[in-house]
Every structure is written in structure tokens, then in C-alpha cells.
Amino acid sequence: MDSILVTGNGPLNGQIPIAGAKNACLTLMPATLLSEEPLTLTNAPRLSDIRTMTALLQSLGAEVTSLQGGKVLAMSSHDINNHKADYEIVRKMRASILVLGPMLARDGHAVVSLPGGCAIGARPVDLHLKALEALGAELELKEGYVHAKAPGGLKGGTFEFPIVSVGATENALMAATLAKGTTVLKNAAREPEIVDLAQCLRRMGAQIDGEGTSTITIQGVDRLGGATHPVVTDRIELGTYMLAPAFCGGRVELLGGKRSLLEAFCQKLEQTGVTIEETEKGLLVSRAEGVRVQAVDVTTEPFPGFPTDLQAQMMALLCTAEGTSVLEEKIFENRFMHAPELIRMGAKIDVHGGHATVTGVDRLKGAPVMATDLRASVSLILAGLAAEGETVVSRVYHLDRGYERVEEKLSACGAKIERIAST
């Protein structure tokens, strides 16, 4: 497995282009199963998770062609000739469960393995299943697989999510587009990736209202057609790279960045003393050298709150802030696994239940560390950029799931970062 070697150095200056969103692309790709006609996604990110979803869709009989070096995904699903999503693929990536709703909606049956995914808490799929049951699906769990049937097709219904779930909202939204009658999803997720999915489905002919609010109403149609759709900007990649100049000082322009994707995060970052300016091309983030960041308290919440996917990176920044910060994780109960690794670099962090108290130190020190999940791994890289000496982040396969060309993007701004290929 490859590692990343980071050597702490001075300020970063330059531009970083932000890719299309991994999490949006992973839900837009299964939408191809809803239609016989082609669905083309532009602005797709080039990531191993996208290749995993490609393999999954191909195993179901869809054609997926990667064009322009992976930036365009041309898909078509004339027939679904296999309705079983096998454990061997699904276990690699939790988002695989998103093929369940579309297959069931189009053909009235599907068998999908229960997923694995990042080790950040229990992460069940009960809400996906309950929402589909509200649309008339009959479900049975047998030997690690969900066996789903909808004799006569899905029927519109009302479902109120007991807690906000991005994935369950996406599965139900896709399924409802082909269900007979009207579906109302209450307490639905409001993330930009949901809005992007609804816009794509509408291009395919779906009738959807209210995406981006807590209530989404879907009027089922008989069939969906083809479409071409650009994947929304990756707000998590955006936030991650906005933190780079916050760690190191300097000025970095994030091309394609929009504040509306990350308002809560931007406000917290500004409270630490970092400057964010909107430019014609995106967002310009700067921190004067020698000015220390200030402590802030952070609570993760569903959109529009502070995203859980930026909590690890923010914690790493606060390790060298002036003062004490408290981070509260409200989405995933076990998402502080980066804390012991940051402590190896000299951070002072006390984890107690869903809270972490971080007491800022002057500077972190480079150390060999291990990435435990996708966002944890990038938080260690950011920490290494500003630490004294060398940091080696091992097990970076997590990183490749969610960040394209991370070494290239950061070194273009002056960071000392290189990949060490495993022998």
C-alpha cells in the first residue's frame, strides 16, 4: 500500500481546481438504472470509489464508459440483466446500497448485499429499507442480502425520516420517480448532493418539487429518458483545500469554489482568523504568516450545518490554535479515530463520548501516522504540511477513494508532498 511523505514547510500560494463531488457522483451513477436511455455525467471526479461504482453497475448489465480521462461518464442501462449486487463489490463501498431503489423501481425486484464501508460508526441501512417499504416494497433479509420485491410496481407514499439521512433520502427519491402516484418525503436531507440528484432526475423527466428543503414531493412517471448532467462541485474537497492556507499561511484560490456550498464551515473558519474572499473564479483563502489561528467550538450537523466530513480536518487545524476548542460529533458516533494519530504528532486532545476537547499547542511534530478513514487520512496530510519535520501517512488507499491527485494539487501551491509507492 502506498504512503504519503509530507515535509512541513512555509506558506502555500497558488490555485487549486476543485473536482466534481464524489458523493454526488456516487448517487447520480445509479440513476442510470432508472432508464433505458443514456445518462452522461460531466465534471466527474477521478477516484477509486467511482471505479467501484462503475464495476457494480457493469455487474448489473449497465454500460459505463469513462471518457476524457474519467471526467465524463457515459452510461446506459438498456436492460438490467442481473438484479443481484454482490457482496464482493458492495463491501468495498457503502454507497453501493444506492442501486437498490432504482432497480426495484424499474423492474420490481432486486437483491443487494448489506454494505460495509468506512469504519466510522454502526451506519445501518434501516432507513433506506423503511423508506422503500413505505413505497410498497416487500423486503426480506437473508444471509447478508436484502431481497426486495414490489409486485405490480412501487406505489407513492408518505415517509417521514426519523433522523436525517443523505443516502436514504437519495434511495427513496430515485425509487419514487417511477412509483405510481405521489410520494412525500418528510425530514429529508437538504445536502447540495440531493439537490444535484433531483436536478439530474428532472432532466431525465422526473417530476420533483422541494429538493433542498425538508419536504420533497415526487409525482411518479411511467418512464424516464436520457440526460446529460454536470456533477456539482465537491464541497468537501473544497473545504479540505480551504484549510491548507489556514494551516500553513499564504493565499490559495479554490477554483470553482462557492460559499453557498459551505456557509457554516466558512463562518467557523473566519472565526479562527482566516480570510475568505469571493473571486470571479472561486474562493480566495488567506492567512497572514505569524498570525496564529484562534480556537473555535464546532458541532457537526446535517446540511446546512457544519459537515461531519470536514470535522477531522478542522480538528487537525485546531490542534495548533490559540486556546481550547470543543468539537461535537452529532452524525457518526465513532468519528474521532484521527485523534490518537494527531496525538502522536504532539496534539493535546481529550475524547469523551461524542465530544473532543482540543488544547492548542504551538506546533505539531512530524511522525509516522496511519489513516483510518477517508477524511481522517487527509486531516493527517494537512497536519503534516504545517508540522515540524517529516510525516509519513500510511494506508493511503482511503485517500484515493475521495481525493484526486492530492499530491499534485498541493505541491502546485508549494507544499512538499510525495507519494511513496509500496514495493
Q: Which residues does the annotation mark as catalytic?
A: 118
Q: Do the annotations mark residue 123 as ligand-binding?
A: yes
- If one asks whether residue 196 binds ligand UD1 (CB under 6 A), the answer comes out as no
- If one asks whether residue 233 binds ligand UD1 (CB under 6 A), the answer comes out as no
CA-CA distance, 203 to 392, in Å (whole number)? Answer: 45
Among 53-61, 66-74, 104-112, 120-128, the segment contacting ligand UD1 (CB under 6 A): 120-128
Among 152-160, 166-174, 339-347, 405-413, the segment contacting ligand UD1 (CB under 6 A): 166-174
Q: Between residues 29 and 252, which has the closer beta carbon with respect to ligand UD1? A: 29
101, 89, 97, 91: which is closest to 59 by C-alpha? 89
Pick the binder of ligand UD1 from 123, 292, 355, 416 (CB under 6 A): 123
Residue 337 backbone zone (phi > 0: left; psi -120 to 50: alpha; other: beta): alpha
Helix H, strand E, coil C: the string for 178-244 is CCECEEEEECCCCCHHHHHHHHHHHHCCCEEECECECCEEEECCCCECCEEEECCECHHHHHHHHHH
> Looking only at residues 128 through 157 of this chain, which bind ligand UD1 when binding is defined by CB under 6 A?
128
Among 36-44, 149-157, 162-170, 352-360, the segment contacting ligand UD1 (CB under 6 A): 162-170
Q: Smallest distance, Å, CB 261 to ligand UD1? A: 13
Total number of residues that touch ligand UD1 (CB under 6 A): 21
Pick the binder of ligand UD1 from 67, 79, 124, 209 (CB under 6 A): 124
Q: Smallest distance, Å, CB 158 to ligand UD1? A: 18
Q: Between residues 106 and 335, which has the closer beta carbon with respect to ligand UD1? A: 335
Q: What angle do CA 235, 236, 237 make, to 5 degrees?
A: 95
Q: Between residues 95 and 112, which has the closer beta carbon with respect to ligand UD1? A: 95
294 phi/psi in degrees, rounded to 5: -100, 150
- If one asks whether residue 121 binds ligand UD1 (CB under 6 A), the answer comes out as yes
CA-CA distance, 148 to 132, in Å (whole number)? Answer: 9
* x-marked contacts with ligand UD1 along 234-263 as a string, rule CB under 6 A: ------------------------------
Sign of CA dihedral 251, 254, 257, 261: negative
- If one asks whether residue 369 binds ligand UD1 (CB under 6 A), the answer comes out as no
Q: Do the annotations mark residue 350 as ligand-binding?
A: no
The answer to whether the CB of 257 falls within 8 A of the CB of 242 is yes
Locus of grid cell 473532543: 356
* Type of residue at 30: P
Largest CA distance in the chain: 67
Q: Between residues 3 and 23, which has the closer beta carbon with respect to ligand UD1? A: 23
Q: Do the annotations mark residue 331 as ligand-binding?
A: yes
Please count the residues of the chain.
423
Q: Between residues 141 and 163, which has the closer beta carbon with respect to ligand UD1? A: 163
Q: How far is residue 312 from each of residues 298, 373, 375, measured CA to CA in Å?
A: 11, 10, 6
CA-CA distance, 409 to 64, in Å (whole number)? Answer: 27
Task: Establish how many alpha carbons lie within 13 A of residue 15's alpha carbon, considering only the half-sphere containing its beta carbon.
Answer: 9
* x-marked contacts with ligand UD1 along 77-116 as a string, rule CB under 6 A: -----------------xx---------------------
Among 52-60, 106-114, 164-172, 250-258, the segment contacting ligand UD1 (CB under 6 A): 164-172
Q: Smallest distance, Å, CB 371 to ligand UD1? A: 15
Q: Between residues 106 and 128, which has the closer beta carbon with respect to ligand UD1? A: 128
- If one asks whether residue 308 binds ligand UD1 (CB under 6 A), the answer comes out as yes
Residue nearest to ligand UD1 (CB): 167
Q: Smallest distance, Å, CB 128 to ligand UD1? A: 5
Q: How far is residue 119 from each of residues 124, 146, 254, 314, 375, measured CA to CA in Å?
A: 12, 21, 30, 19, 12
Listed in sequence order, the residues at least 6 apart from 187 whose beta carbon sits closer than 8 Å to its beta carbon are: 160, 161, 162, 163, 164, 214
Quote the crossing angle between the two packed helices 100-107 and 126-134, to the nearest 10°.
20
Bind-site residues for UDP-N-acetyl-alpha-D-glucosamine: 94, 123-127, 309, 331
Residues that bind ligand UD1 (CB under 6 A): 23, 26, 94-95, 121-128, 163, 165-168, 308-309, 331-332
